[in-house]
Structure 1
Amino acid sequence: MTTQIDTILFNARLRDATAPAGIRDGDAIAISGGLIAAVGTGDDILKLRNSRTEVFDLGGAYLTPGLVDGHAHPVSGNDLQVGVDMTGARTAEEMLARLRAEAQRTPLGQWVMGYSLDPIAFAGLPHVADAIEDAVGGRPTCVFIFDYHGVAVSRTALTMAGVTGPRSFVGASVIVCDADGRPTGVLLEPEAIALVKGLIPVPTFADRVASLRTTLNRMAASGLTGIHVMDANTRSMELFAALEAEADLPLRLHVAPWVNPGASQSDIDEVLAQQSLHGKYWRVVAAKFFIDGTIDGGTGWLHEPDIHGEGLAALWPDHEAYQYALRFFAERQVQTITHAIGDHAIRFVLDTLKDVPEALRRAARHRIEHIETLPDEDIGRFAAEGIIPSMQPSHAVRYTRADHSDNWSSRLGKERADRAWRCRDIADAGAPIVMGSDWPIAPFDPREILVCARFRRLAEQSLAEAIQPSQALTGLEALAGLTSIAAYAVHEEAISGALTPGMRADLTALSVDPINAPADALAAATVPLTMMDGRVTHNGL
């Protein structure tokens, strides 16, 4: 029986991180039933077409396995990017001017909202709540800090939430207060943020479905074919099911529900039960933990305190409870994924995983996310112990400065800031690095991830000094982090991440070579075509 060829892509240059030097022989691919059926020359592949075959001339574009964001929050990111974008506001004057303008645009009776605020903008304000209050004319206001581990709010918002002083939380959440115990307007980590966030009206479920569809389509247009989804605590699975009830998803979604600090046994059992949930193009694959917060907020767990005396606590105050919960999943062969940013946090997770029987540990492919500052003695442990590092080079590029004048670096001091995002050292030790954006903290565009991984700067910052340039990856390594290694991290290397027959036809076409193109050209590259499961999810031809 002759195989029905559904689609042919020809006149392409094939780039595949699993091929020698990243170059796959041939210039055409035949697709059947959502899988790659054949790879070869255009002359040979075009002979396979029939009257029902759809044919695309890629015009010399570079075709890669589908690009996958290894760490993003599509649901919560879509929900939280509301109001004024504070990106680039690095002074109080800039911050307050944008909020003043947003207040004028916002109808009376509604909250004034913002996102992506650099904490350096309010570092010199003893009470950011009062400054915001004056700027917005007494309106309730909530602005998310760029890492989404904190908010800056108006005095009215604090009053509405009944926040009058410090409180104790199960995790390491903090209501930041002055020496007299008066809240400054900064709330850090989920439990504290929830005091205000819970007062803000939320869109209807139907509106969220429509908005999320738009966001996922934008992601597909950027060249993404999949996402490792790092949350499922905002009705995510219900949203995915609702989207699939309308039409097929444009991306594959690999979902990791949260196990929050202080989780009860029933909470843990619920996440375990969720491991069986799936749809056509989404599935639950792991359990997500947070062992610490962020360096910028003073909640990253460090061996030694930062310059403000902060960073000495884990988000799980009961360390043994975290260890129990992680081992609970590991012993049941469920992959665990732990957010660990500070050097103490990373080592604690490595030590906890090392106590898991080696065969179980290596089979599950447990992950550590972010890994922002790391001492020499822990570099080789990822490869040696079979732990997957998942990193976001765009964080280093967007939120730190080579002269250490940024909030992240100044908090840590030069020695620890010089150990920032050590991608090169970890890769050289033999560990496969998953690459991602952590959207909405950084843009989801995979072209930016490739640029930041290779050049340790943004394309438009050609005159800026690179951030720890010795930690740059090669173009081939960066592409692998978004393709073959991303597939490996979710146990799909046998069916995804390469341009070979039998692999899924998840494909991304770029107008420039993703391995060798200069930074400016790569950042400005067009995306002629994105396919997922042999189906066109973006057509830019």
Structure 2
Amino acid sequence: MTTHIDKILFNARLRDATAPEGMREGDAIAISGGVILAVGSGEDILKLRSSRTEVFDLDGAYLMPGLVDGHAHPVSGSDLQVGVDMTGARTAEEMLARLRAEAQRTPPGQWVMGYSQDPIAYADIPHIADAIEEAVGGRPALVHVFDYHGVAVSRTALAMAGVTGPRSFIGASVIVCDADGKPTGVLLEPEAIALVKSLIPVPSFAERAASLRATLNRMAAHGLTGIHVMDANTRSLELYAALEAEADLPLRLHVAPWVNPGATQSDIDEVLAQQSLHGRHWRVCAAKFFIDGTIDGGTGWLHEPDRFGEGLSALWTDPTTYHYAARFFAERGVQTITHAIGDKAVRYVLDTLKEVPEDVRRAARHRVEHIETLPDEDIGRFAAEGIVPSMQPSHAVRYTRADHSDNWSSRLGTERANRAWRSRDIADTGAPVVMGSDWPIAPFDPRDILVCARFRRLAEQTEAAAIQPAQALTGVEALAGLTSVAAHAVHEEAISGALTPGMRADLTAMSVDPITASADALTSARFIFTMMDGRVTHSAL
């Protein structure tokens, strides 16, 4: 019986991080039933077509395995980006000016909202709540910090939430207060943020589903065919199922529900039970933990305190409870994915996982996310112990400065800031590095990730010094982090991440070479074509 060829893509230049120097021979691919059937010359592949075969001339575009964001939050990102975009507001004057304008646009009775705020803008303001209060005319207001681990709110918002002083939380959340115990307007980490956030009206389920569908379609238009989804909270799984009931998803979603600080055995058992849940193009396949918060908020867990004397605690106020929960999943063969930013946090996770029997540990491919500052003695542990490092080069480039004038670097000091985002050092030990955006913290555009990974600066930053340029990855390594390594991290390297027969027809085509193009060329590149499961999800042909 002759296999029917559904689609043929030809006149392409094939780029594959698993091929020598990232270049695969041939210029055409035949697809059948959502799987690559053959790779070769256009002359040979076109002979396989029938009258029912769809043929796509890529006109010399660069075709690669479908790009996968190794760390993103599509649901919460769609929910959180409400109000005014505060990106680039690095002074109090700019922050407050944007809030004044947003207050004028916001109907009476509604909250004034913002997102992606750099905390350096209000670092020297003792009571940002009062400054926001004046800017918005006495209305309730909330602004998310760019890392979404903190918010700055108005005095009215604090009063509505009954926040009048410090409180204790199960996790290491903080109501930041002055020496007299008066809240400054800064709330750090989920439990504290929820005191105010819970008062804000939320969109309906249908509105959230529509917003999520739009987000996923934008991601497909930017060349993405999959996401490692780092949460399943706020009815995420129901949203995926609802969208699939309407039409196929445009991306594959590999989902890791949260196990939050203070999780009870019932909470842990619930996440374990979720591991069997799936749809056509989404599946639960891991458990997500937070062992610490962020450097910018003073909640990253460090061996030595930052310049404000902060950073000495885990988010799990008793870290042994994290130790128990992580090992609970690890010993049952479930992949754990732990947010660990500070040097002590990373070491604690590595030490916890090292206690798991080696064959069980290596089989699960446990992951550590972010790894923002790391001493020399821990660099080789990922490769040696079979732990997958997952990093976001856009964070280093977008939120730090080479002269250490940024909030992140100034908190840590020169020594620790100089050992930041050590992707080159980790890769040199043989550990495969997953690349991601952590959207909405940084853009999900994979061009941004490729540029930041290779050049350690943004294309438009022609006058700015690169951020730790010695940590740059090669073009092949950066592409691998979004393709073959991303597939390995979710145990799918046998069926995705390469341009070879038998692999899924998840494909991305762009106008420039993802391996050799300059920063300027990558930034301005066009996404020509995106395909997931043999189905076209974006085309600019």
Q: SS where residue 345 of structure 1 aligns? A: helix
1:350 and 1:255 mapped to 2: Cα distance? 22
Tell whether 2:467 aligns with 1:467: yes
State the partner residue of 1:347. Answer: 347
The offset of 1:318, in angstroms, is: 1.2
Q: Does 1:456 align with 2:456?
A: yes
Q: Deviations over 1:413-464 (max 9, x none)?
A: 0000000100000000110000000000000000110000000001111221
Residue of structure 2 equivalent to 1:94? 94
Task: Extract unaligned runs of 5+ from structure 1.
Answer: none
**Residue 402 (structure 1) aligns with:** 402
1:253 aligns with 2:253: yes
Aligned to 2:171: 171
Establish whether residue 436 from structure 1 lines up as the match of residue 403 from structure 2. no
Alignment-mate amino acid for residue 290 of structure 1: F
C-alpha distance in 2 between matches for 1:98 and 1:130: 16
Q: CA RMSD in A?
A: 0.4
Q: Distance in 1 between matches of 2:209 and 2:150?
A: 26
Secondary structure class of the residue paired with 2:70:
strand
Corresponding residue for residue 121 of structure 1: 121
Q: 2:232 & 2:28 partners in 1: Cα distance?
A: 38
Residues 82-481 of structure 1: pairs in structure 2 closer than 5 A = 82-481=82-481
Amino acid at match of 1:371: I
Look up the match of 1:533. 533
How far residue 466 of structure 1 moved from its aligned partner, in angstroms, is 0.1
Q: Deviations over 1:77-112 (max 9, x none)?
A: 000000000000000000000000000000000000
Partner of 1:38: 38
Report the AA paired with residue 432 of structure 2.
Answer: P
Q: What is the DSSP-based 3-state SS (H/G/I as helix, E as strand, rest coil) of the residue aligned with 1:528? A: strand
AA aligned opposite 1:305:
P
Distance 1:160 1:54 in 2: 59
**What SS class does the counterpart of residue 55 from structure 1 fall into?**
strand
The residue aligned with 1:69 is 69
Q: Secondary structure at the match of 2:527?
A: coil
For residues 319 and 195 of structure 1, the distance between their equivalents in structure 2, rounded to whole angstroms, comes to 24
1:527 CA displacement: 0.6
Alpha-carbon separation, structure 2, partners of 1:459 and 1:226: 25
CA deviations on 1:169-214 (whole Å, 9 max, x unpaired) are 0000000000000000000000000000100000000000011000
* Distance (Å, rounded) in 1 between the aligned partners of 2:409 and 2:327: 33
- Whole-angstrom CA distance in 2 between matches of 1:501 and 1:462: 42
Structure 1 segments, 4+ long, off by >2 Å, are none
**Alpha-carbon distance between aligned partners in 2 of 1:12 and 1:234, rounded to the nearest angstrom:** 42
Query: SS at 2:37's partner residue?
Result: strand
State how far apart, in whole Å, the 1-side matches of 2:313 and 2:32 are.
53
Deviation digits for residues 388-417 of structure 1 (CA, Å, limit 9, x no counterpart): 000000000000000000000000000000
* Structure-1 separation of matches of 2:87 and 2:390: 24
Aligned to 2:9: 9
Alignment-mate amino acid for residue 386 of structure 1: G
Note the alpha carbon deviations across 1:472-520, whole angstroms, 9 max, x for none: 0000000000000000000000000000000000000010000000000
**Equivalent position of 1:28 in the other structure:** 28
How many percent of aligned residue pairs carry the same amino acid?
85
State the alpha-carbon separation in 1 of the partners of residues 401 and 257 from structure 2.
33
Structure 1, residues 101-143: CA drift from partner, whole Å, max 9, x if none?
0000000000000000000000111000000000000010000
* Alignment partners' CA distance in 1, 2:325 and 2:33: 41
For residue 272 of structure 2, give the secondary structure of its aligned residue in structure 1: helix
> What secondary structure sits across from 1:419 in the alignment?
coil
Distance 2:331 2:403 in 1: 45
Could you tell me which amino acid in structure 2 is paired with residue 534 of structure 1? G
**Does the residue aligned with 2:259 lie in a helix, a strand or coil?**
coil
Secondary structure in 1 matching 2:228: strand
SS in 2 for 1:333: coil
Alpha-carbon distance between aligned partners in 2 of 1:128 and 1:265, rounded to the nearest angstrom: 39
SS in structure 1 at match of 2:430: coil
Give secondary structure in 2 for the equivalent of 1:102: helix
Listed as ranges, the gaps of 5+ residues in structure 2 are none
Q: What amino acid maps onto 2:315 in structure 1?
A: L
**CA distance in 2 between partners of 1:469 and 1:362 (Å):** 31
Q: Counterparts of 1:318 and 1:166 in 2: how far apart (Å)?
A: 20
Distance 2:6 2:294 in 1: 48
For residues 306 and 532 of structure 1, the distance between their equivalents in structure 2, rounded to whole angstroms, comes to: 45
Query: C-alpha displacement at 1:317, in angstroms?
Result: 1.1
TM-score (ref. length: structure 1): 1.00
Give the letter for the 2:503 counterpart.
M
CA–CA separation in structure 1 for the residues paired with 2:540 and 2:389? 33
Whole-angstrom CA distance in 2 between matches of 1:439 and 1:540: 24
Q: What is the aligned partner in structure 2 of residue 80 from structure 1?
A: 80
Q: Are 2:484 and 1:484 aligned?
A: yes
How far apart are 1:540 and its partner, in Å?
1.0
Q: Could you say what secondary structure the match of 1:24 adopts?
A: coil
- 1:18 equivalent to 2:6? Answer no
Q: Displacement of 1:279 after TM fit?
A: 0.2
